[in-house]
């Protein structure tokens, strides 16, 4: 039997309590895996007296996680505090600075400081493990950092926010409008009181920033991500998508193009018959397109105490086994600067829904604007909108592959022509491998 | 820069040649990953002069892979020879015996000798890596051995044979009969001249035997797997499944039950709206149900030179990084004996297709036999079979959850009653998580 792995646990919320409880309850299970006992040596949390369903009486308590990271007699520091800066950042830096490996579930920390932390870890010859930071229980970090290492990645994309996916699924299945589904999600605890971080696409963007770095060996650049949330998606869009053979998902996509790397989060139409389109409710999924492998898809729970704890525990056992992997796949000195591909250069098909005044020449003018911008149309559907009173003709256009710039220019011209009632709706169509 | 990893490669067929070529072409890519060059030091293959698209002129050649494993100056032995016994087994034993870690893509070797090889590896303190042995490029071995280590698995199941899945997909999409699809698959190289190993379910069974051991920490028991191939699946079954909201896939399933562990490979009806049901063509997929995580699904290419090479390369880099993992998740001394759950005790829903003589009392007698065996029916459909001439009434029964024993007893009684024309067809229904 090897020497125990002494673990310092900072942050004992839902995930931290799950981790502590499972390590205690499954002690025998874990020693079968490693031959090395894992012991919680020190913890840090604000409230010592809260019942967390696990006995932490023999454990060293620290009020300050930074002091825990600096002083505790530990072999591994597990950061479950959260937040991009403050005690999370300071404690992780302190642990790495002492040459102690770190396990973290903190996507914001990595999206903002991942590269500098990776360099610090490299200097100290220790590893940062963060399976739980992206897509909860889905082993996408291990897959990208280890299983795909022979591959050159061309695109990584997925459903990375369970709140949005739950809401879109409910809208599609039950025909419930966005605002009502949001209230329902908030009541169920799937959405926060201020839901902006989720439904605005920012949570998915943080996760995408990390996946981009793993995929392309580039420095993290959260600020360059094009972000569009789901709040403008209407039941009309969802119904039209279904009729056209698509489903609407909030996708996060990072893709290598001729001009750089595209990073984008936006509502996306994907073929209804694809496996990704069946990923419903709070489930997450990530797909990776590569040169050798072709494409793989991993789907599973993206959140929840136990699912996230499962990812943290896998990292803890890797640390117990002395696994060393470079933080973002390649060694930090090989990380290249992120070269942004402008969103205007994005190429793809588009769904465009217009509410057009019912007057002579309106449609001819729209058709002309599309042609002027070299946009060719795959289909044109005239549908009755749910709030249609006869004065407007709702028109849906599906374009062949074109560019974001062409679509924006065409729609600006159409708007100037004065035939539209309300803003045009555009949803990008993603071609899956 | 660390000392290079010297690699011995035994077997340079499609996969071996891909591995050698990619290691050469992507030398810079790999050194970014590991900081350690990977060099092919020795190879073994029958024909030295065949053009394999890669320059192996500076490499030590061995006619006998066992001698390579015994004598070459290598840090890692990569076995891509194939076959459960003979040179594959002898060379792997020789390498492990010298304390050299092994990477292999050989499912038959592991399904037959995995446990004794794991014990030998453990004694020598080296690891056996075999990502490519199950489901080609899908990282299911890494996921089960590493990413799910905190979890207790209740079931692992999947589409593990691309030939069968390709054939079932073609039958469903194009309405082509089994025999015609088989000829087509043989012409395309998706099926062997003697297709028994694939369409009889034996290939999937070999892979399942390995997954079972990883899932439950039990010794491998290939002989206990219940195996039924796809050759009895007719277009009538496929059409009926579609009408009832199912698709038919050859599933391999290992499941913990009250009486032991069930291992079974058989055509299976799964809900048409599930992500697994969208896994078409030669694509493979594996799902794992666990206590902490819930369920995850991984889908991707199950075969092909580059996809399989991708898995081998991931193992090679793990070996270069000194990763040590117990062969079947738990340390070999903790592997427990496999306790077989009898197939007769299997519980689930059943699709039963009967061709019944068009005579008075026939259906009443069938209904009575079902009731006598406590089988309750979810639906009863009378369909016109494609070869129906009016003298038989084709009847399809979907049962509620019952047991294999009850279904067999009921169908034996129905057969004895003399109303059937031809053998009854039964297809098990799998409930997905």
Query: CB–CB of A92/A188 below 8 Å?
Result: no
Flag whether pLDDT at A35 surpasses 80: no
Angle, vertex CA A71, rays to CA A66 and CA A73, nearest 5:
125
Backbone φ and ψ of B255, nearest 5°:
-145, 135
Q: Same domain for B9 and B77?
A: yes
* Percent of chain A residues topping a pLDDT of 70: 98
How many CA within 13 A on the CB side of residue B90? 8
* Percent of chain A residues topping a pLDDT of 90: 82
Q: In what order do the strands lie in the sheet with B60-62?
A: B60-62, B38-44, B5-10, B76-79, B102-104, B128-129
Q: Active-site positions of B?
A: 207
Structure tokens, A178? 């966005």
Q: Same domain for B158 and B219?
A: yes
Query: CB–CB of B95/B106 below 8 Å?
Result: no
pLDDT digits (tens, 9 = 90+) for B282-322: 999 999 999 999 999 999 999 889 999 999 999 999 998 88
pLDDT in the model for residue B29: 87
Q: Please indicate whether, in this complex, the C-beta atoms of A148 and B142 are within 8 angstroms of each other.
A: no
Split at pLDDT 50, 70, 90, the class of B123 is very high
Q: Please indicate whether, in this complex, the C-beta atoms of A278 and B273 are within 8 angstroms of each other.
A: yes
Classify residue A387: in a domain, yes or no. Answer: yes
Flag whether pLDDT at B379 surpasses 60: yes
Residues of chain A contacting B299 with CB distance shorter than 8 Å: 275, 296-298
Query: CB–CB of B265/B227 below 8 Å?
Result: yes
| Among A13, A204, A193, CA closest to A107 | A204
**Cα dist from A61 to A56, A58, A78, B127, B388, whole Å:** 9, 9, 14, 38, 77
Q: Same domain for A162 and A294?
A: yes
Classify residue B357: in a domain, yes or no. Answer: yes
Tell me, what CATH number does A74's domain have? 3.40.50.720
Classify residue B394: in a domain, yes or no. Answer: yes
pLDDT digits (tens, 9 = 90+) for A333-392: 888 999 999 999 999 999 999 999 888 888 899 999 999 999 999 999 886 655 556 788
pLDDT digits (tens, 9 = 90+) for A236-253: 999 999 999 999 999 999
Classify residue B312: in a domain, yes or no. Answer: no
Average pLDDT over residues A109-136: 96
Tell me, what CATH number does A296's domain have? 3.30.360.10
How many CA within 13 A on the CB side of residue B246? 23
Rounded Cα–Cα distance for residues B195 and B179 (Å): 11
Tell me, what CATH number does A390's domain have? 3.30.70.260
Angle, vertex CA B256, rays to CA B253 and CA B257, nearest 5:
115
Among A293-307, A409-423, B21-35, the minimum mean pLDDT is found in B21-35
Q: Which residues of B are annotated as a binding site for NADP(+)?
A: 10-17
Domain of residue A27: give its range: 5-104
| Among B314, B167, B329, CA closest to B233 | B167
Rounded Cα–Cα distance for residues B230 and B120 (Å): 37
Question: What residues form DSSP beta bridges with A328?
Answer: A330
pLDDT digits (tens, 9 = 90+) for A185-203: 999 888 888 999 999 999 9
Q: Which residues of B are annotated as a binding site for NADPH?
A: 107
Structure tokens, A223? 């600020």
Please provide the average confidence, as pLDDT, over all residues in chain A.
94
pLDDT in the model for residue B14: 92
What sign does the CA torsion over B46, B51, B54, B58 have?
positive
pLDDT in the model for residue B386: 56
Rounded Cα–Cα distance for residues A314 and B282 (Å): 31
Q: CB under 8 Å to A421, separation ≥6 — which residues?
A: A355, A356, A357, A391, A392
Flag whether pLDDT at A128 surpasses 90: yes
Q: Same domain for B150 and B97?
A: no
B24-33 — which CB contacts under 8 Å span 24+ positions? Answer: B24/B54, B24/B55, B26/A150, B26/A152, B29/A150, B29/A152, B30/A149, B30/A150, B30/B317, B31/B1, B32/A217, B32/A330, B32/A331, B32/A334, B33/A149, B33/A326, B33/A329, B33/A330, B33/A331, B33/B317
Structure tokens, A17? 């309590």
Q: Which of A26, A207, A384, A409 is catalytic?
A: A207
Query: CB–CB of B228/B265 below 8 Å?
Result: yes
Q: Same domain for B337 and B382?
A: no
Backbone φ and ψ of A129, nearest 5°:
-110, 135
Q: Same domain for B368 and B278?
A: no
Q: Same domain for A174 and A26?
A: no
What are the helix (H) ranges across B189-320? 196-199, 202-216, 235-243, 305-320
Total of domains in chain B: 3
Classify residue B122: in a domain, yes or no. Answer: no
Q: Same domain for B337 and B376?
A: no
Q: Please indicate whether, in this complex, the C-beta atoms of B146 and A318 are within 8 angstroms of each other.
A: yes
Backbone φ and ψ of A395, nearest 5°:
-125, 135
Total count of residues recorded for chain A: 433
Split at pLDDT 50, 70, 90, the class of B374 is very high
Domain boundary among A341, A372, A394: A341
Q: Which residue of A has its CA nearest to B276?
A: A275
Flag whether pLDDT at B389 surpasses 80: no
Q: Same domain for A204 and A272?
A: yes
Q: CB under 8 Å to A231, separation ≥6 — which residues?
A: A178, A199, A200
Q: CB under 8 Å to A34, separation ≥6 — which residues?
A: A2, A317, A320, A321
Q: Same domain for A414 and A282?
A: no
Query: Strand, coil or helix: what is B108?
Result: helix
Q: Which residue of B has its CA nearest to A328?
A: B33
pLDDT in the model for residue A330: 83
Split at pLDDT 50, 70, 90, the class of B64 is very high
Q: Please indicate whether, in this complex, the C-beta atoms of A292 and B279 are within 8 angstroms of each other.
A: no
Residues of chain A contacting B137 with CB distance shorter than 8 Å: 292-294, 296
Query: CB–CB of B305/B227 below 8 Å?
Result: no
Rounded Cα–Cα distance for residues B135 and B45 (Å): 25
Question: What residues form DSSP beta bridges with B271?
Answer: B246
pLDDT digits (tens, 9 = 90+) for A140-175: 999 999 999 999 999 999 999 999 999 999 999 999
With 0-12 CB in 10 A as exposed, 13-18 as middle and 19+ as buried, what is A291?
middle
Average pLDDT over residues B54-60: 90
Domain boundary among B74, B104, B134: B104
pLDDT in the model for residue B34: 73
Q: Same domain for A255 and A396?
A: no
What sign does the CA torsion over A292, A293, A295, A301 have?
negative
Classify residue B31: in a domain, yes or no. Answer: yes
Q: Please indicate whether, in this complex, the C-beta atoms of A295 and B292 are within 8 angstroms of each other.
A: no
Domain boundary among A315, A341, A367: A341
> A376 to chain B, minimum CA–CA distance in Å?
30
Q: Which residues of B are annotated as a binding site for L-homoserine?
A: 192
Radius of gyration from C-alpha coordinates of chain B? 24
Q: Same domain for B54 and B153?
A: no
């Amino acid at each position: 039997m090897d020497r125990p792995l002494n673990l310092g646990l900072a942050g004992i919320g839902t995930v931290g309590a799950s981790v502590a409880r499972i390590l205690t309850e499954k002690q025998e299970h874990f020693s079968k895996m490693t031959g090395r006992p894992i012991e919680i040596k020190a913890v840090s949390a604000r409230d010592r007296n809260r019942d967390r369903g696990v006995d932490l009486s023999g454990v060293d308590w620290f009020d300050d996680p930074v002091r825990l990271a600096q002083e505790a007699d530990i072999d591994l520091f597990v950061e479950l505090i959260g937040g991009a800066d403050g005690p999370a950042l300071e404690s992780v830096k302190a642990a790495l600075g002492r040459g102690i490996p770190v396990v973290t579930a903190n996507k914001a920390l990595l999206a903002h400081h991942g590269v500098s932390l990776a360099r610090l870890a490299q200097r100290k010859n220790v590893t940062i493990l963060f399976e739980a930071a992206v897509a909860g229980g889905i082993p996408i970090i291990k897959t990208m950092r280890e299983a795909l290492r022979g591959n050159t990645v061309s695109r990584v994309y997925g459903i990375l926010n369970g709140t949005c996916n739950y809401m879109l699924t409910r809208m599609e299945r039950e025909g419930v409008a966005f605002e009502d589904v949001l209230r329902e999600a908030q009541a169920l605890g799937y959405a926060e009181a201020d839901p902006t971080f989720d439904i605005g696409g920012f949570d998915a963007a943080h996760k995408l920033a990390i996946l981009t770095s793993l995929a392309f060996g580039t420095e993290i650049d959260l600020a360059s991500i094009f972000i569009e949330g789901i709040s403008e998606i209407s039941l009309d869009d969802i119904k039209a998508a279904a009729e056209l053979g698509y489903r609407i998902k909030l996708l996060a996509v990072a893709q290598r193009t001729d001009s750089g790397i595209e990073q984008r989060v936006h509502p996306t139409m994907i073929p209804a018959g694809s496996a990704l389109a069946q990923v419903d409710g709070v489930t997450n999924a990530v797909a990776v397109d590569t040169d050798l492998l072709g494409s793989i898809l991993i789907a599973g729970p993206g959140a929840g105490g136990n699912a996230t704890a499962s990812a943290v525990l896998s990292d803890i056992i890797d640390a117990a086994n002395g696994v060393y992997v470079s933080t973002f796949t390649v060694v930090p000195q090989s990380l290249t600067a992120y070269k942004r591909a402008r969103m205007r250069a994005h190429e793809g098909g588009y769904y465009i829904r217009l509410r057009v005044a019912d007057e002579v020449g309106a449609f001819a003018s729209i058709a002309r604007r599309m042609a002027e911008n070299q946009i060719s149309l795959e289909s044109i559907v005239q549908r009755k909108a749910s709030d249609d009173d006869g004065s407007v003709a709702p028109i849906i256009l599906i374009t062949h592959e074109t560019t974001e710039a062409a679509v924006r220019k065409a729609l600006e011209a159409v708007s100037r022509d004065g035939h539209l009632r309300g803003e045009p709706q555009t949803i990008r169509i993603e071609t899956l491998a």
